[in-house]
Amino acid sequence: MSYLFDDDTGAFVLNIDQNGDFQDSFTADEIFPVLFNVADAGERDVILKRLSESDFTTPVGLRTISTADPWYFPSFGVGLLGGVWPDLTLWYVVALARNGGIDEGVGFLDRIYEAMEGGSPRNTVPGEFAEWFDGGSLTNRGMYLSPWTGAKYLWAVAETIGGFDGYRTSGRPHLNPLRPTGWNWVAGVNVRWGGKRCTYVVDFERATISTNSPDLSAEEPYHIVDAGRDVSDEVTVSPVEIGAVAFEAPGGIFTIFVLNDDEEERDSIVEFRGSTRRVELAKGAIESLVIGGR
């Protein structure tokens, strides 16, 4: 692949014609040799650093080309000449996360979500990911409901923060969670994997992963805990900002993980099989309730 690399730009050429002439403009297409490890470590760092500069980044995501590019026309060509595609930004998120930039990646996940929730000022419908944005006005110029972006958003979360990595295990579920600064937990409920469903809770501080999947493995330093059957659908918790994941182990031992977001401290009410517990949660906290057993 060395003949595709341009030392002048520190990146890969876009194409080479039959006469050997090449197009060497630096565009967001450079994310692909990073994402698929065509670029070596040094090249990946250079490309990601360049894409993080202000002529590419916006409050709604990553531009397809730089504002300094002579071809820049942010409302033309369905956003491919300087518009902002959330899908492109999600590829950028995963590339960042895999190369030591999980905090930066989470920041762009937030930008995509906030643009979706922006409503009239962004020309979006809250709850629906828009297709692409004008790179100048930063308003939606495409479909109000992109058929691709929701699935890519879940993929980007699952394979970075969520830690799913089946590539090295021939499809068997394997976790390598990437912890953003300040995060204490991440969880997945009824995640489809290889025709089965997997529920798990990662406690970052304790380096444990509690799960109902006997096939699940994880990278060090994480330790897998066989927590039993998933009974999360039997738990009712309030307020709505609180999450709960519950497992039933042999012997009638139930473990309920109560999960708070990082916005504020909360008092929660947890109801399970006729019993009610009150749990006080700090910002971003994870607490566990154990019921039954001796």
Q: Are residues 121 and 60 in the same domain?
A: yes
Q: Are residues 189 and 286 in the same domain?
A: yes
Residues 105 and 206 in one domain: no
138 and 181 in a single domain? The answer is: no
**Same-domain pairing of 283 and 185:** yes
Confirm whether 171 is domain-assigned: no
Same domain membership, residue 228 and residue 147: no
User: How many domains, the chain?
Assistant: 2
Residues 192, 107 share a domain:
no
Beta strands in the chain (DSSP E): 5-6, 11-12, 15-16, 22-23, 57-58, 61-62, 174-175, 185-193, 196-203, 208-211, 217-218, 223-226, 229-230, 235-238, 243-249, 253-259, 266-272, 275-281, 286-291
Here the CATH number for the domain that contains residue 154 is 1.50.10.10
Residue 181 sits in a domain of what CATH number? 2.60.40
Q: Are 156 and 162 in contact (CB under 8 A)?
A: no
The reply to whether 88 and 207 lie within a common domain is no
With CA atoms as reference, report the closest residue to 175 among 188, 162, 189, 191.
162
How far apart CA 244 and CA 233 sit, in angstroms, is 9
Could you tell me if residue 262 is inside a domain?
yes
Select from 109, 129, 158 the last residue of a domain. Answer: 158
Give the pLDDT confidence score for residue 9 in this predicted structure: 85
pLDDT of residue 73: 97
Answer yes or no: is 125 within a domain: yes
Residues 128 and 252 in one domain: no
Looking at the fold, whether 95 and 67 belong to one and the same domain comes out as yes
On whether both 195 and 153 belong to a single domain, the answer is no
In the three-class reduction of DSSP (H, G, I as helix; E, B as strand; rest coil), residue 218 is classed as strand
**Torsions phi, psi for 283 (to 5 deg):** -60, 130
Range(s) of the domain holding residue 39: 2-158
Mean pLDDT by runs of 10 across the 294 residues of the chain is: 82 88 91 95 96 98 97 95 98 97 98 96 96 97 96 95 77 89 96 87 98 93 97 96 96 96 94 95 97 72
**How far apart, in Å, are the Cα atoms of 52 and each of 17, 23, 63, 248, 290?**
29, 22, 10, 46, 45
Q: Tell me what pLDDT residue 10 has.
A: 86
Question: Which DSSP letter does residue 63 get?
Answer: B
Among 158, 187, 220, which residue terminates a domain?
158
Last-in-domain residue among 158, 192, 221? 158
Let me know whether 101 and 228 are in one domain.
no
| Domain-located, residue 95 | yes
- pLDDT at position 293 is 60
Farthest CA pair distance, the chain: 79
Long-range contacts of range 76-81, CB-CB < 8 Å, 24 or more positions apart?
78/132, 78/141, 78/142, 79/132, 79/133, 79/134, 79/135, 79/141, 79/142
Write the single-letter amino acid at 283.
Answer: K
Q: Are 246 and 257 in contact (CB under 8 A)?
A: yes
With respect to residue 169, please indicate whether it lies within any of the assigned structural domains. Answer: no
